[in-house]
Amino acid sequence: MKNSATLIFATILFSTTINAQLKSVKYSEGNQTLNGLFAKSAKKSSQNPGILMLPAWLGIDNASKGIAEDLSKLGYHVFIADIYGEGNYPKNTSEAGKQAGFYKTNYQAYQKRIEAALQELIKSGANADNIVIIGYCFGGTGVLEAARGHLNVKGVASFHGGLGKEASRPAEPITTKVLICHGADDPFVSKEEIASFQQEMRDTKADWQMIYYANSVHSFTNPEAGNDNSKGAAYNAVAAKRSFEHLQVFLNEVLKK
């Protein structure tokens, strides 16, 4: 049974990579070697819109590859960032928690890793002035750090991501547009964190929107998250579909095609 599951996983991984025509891209930030993936737009456009994707805490996974494939078919150049780098990839959720926790605390280091990936997306063909950053879970936290760090992007979209920041950090103006797609029953984001985030958006005069999805917990866009909401993280096909449609509306609003 274990061998069968492994074979199925490997088949999904292989087919997704081939179908998406994802290209491995080796790059660096400081002394750290990083390995991202690039999906070229299936449609030609003089505007060359780009999407930088920040994956969840385990790193580049099947879910992020599948979404990259879908977005490239819609006419976007997509780059999936590698935040951790060679020698630092987590082997389990415990290691992932430690790695993600480091970047959440050391947000400036997180911003630098995001900026490095952003530059690779531009090198791969995206228009530097026509880019959106999207992120899932840990990556959803990252897109907000991109907004707070004033990276040159038209918008950021967070899916079941953490929303908080240290209270001691000043709330500076946020000029990029912000979309939050949130599971209404997500146990990992407290009411206090949501209230603090929304107040931050008001204080920074941000153009923001937050959409809640019923019966949804953490990781609602990931088919590999299971379907047991009681565990706090589970896939919800309806919420995944709706949030992807909301993303498309957002992209059509903020990017030129």
The pLDDT of residue 173: 94
Mean pLDDT of 86-90: 97
The pLDDT of residue 21: 83
The pLDDT of residue 167: 86
pTM for this prediction: 0.91
Q: Tell me the pairing of strands 131-136 and 208-213.
A: unpaired
Strand partners, 155: 132, 177
Q: What is the pLDDT of residues 200-241, one digit of tens each?
A: 999 999 999 999 999 999 999 999 999 999 999 999 999 999
Mean pLDDT of 5-18: 40
Q: Tell me the pairing of strands 50-54 and 77-80.
A: parallel
Mean pLDDT of 15-37: 82
> Are 127 and 154 within 8 A, CB to CB?
no
Mean pLDDT of 74-82: 98
The pLDDT of residue 7: 38
Q: What is the pLDDT of residues 96-114, one digit of tens each?
A: 999 999 999 999 999 999 9
Q: Which long-range contacts (CB under 8 A, 24 or more apart) does 32-35 make?
A: 32/85, 32/86, 32/88, 33/85, 33/86, 34/81, 34/82, 34/83, 34/85, 34/86, 34/113, 34/116, 34/117, 35/82, 35/85, 35/86
Mean pLDDT of 123-137: 98
The band of 152, judged by pLDDT with boundaries at 50, 70 and 90, is very high
Strands (E), 7-148: 23-29, 32-39, 50-54, 77-80, 131-136
Mean pLDDT of 38-66: 97
The band of 13, judged by pLDDT with boundaries at 50, 70 and 90, is very low
Mean pLDDT of the chain: 93
The pLDDT of residue 158: 98
90 or 168, which is more confident? 90
* % of the chain beyond a pLDDT of 90: 89
> SS3 of 204, please?
coil
15: pLDDT strictly greater than 50? no
Mean pLDDT of 78-101: 97
Q: Which of 15-24, 26-35, 168-177 has the lowest mean pLDDT?
A: 15-24
What's the CA gap between 184 and 214, in Å, rounded? 5
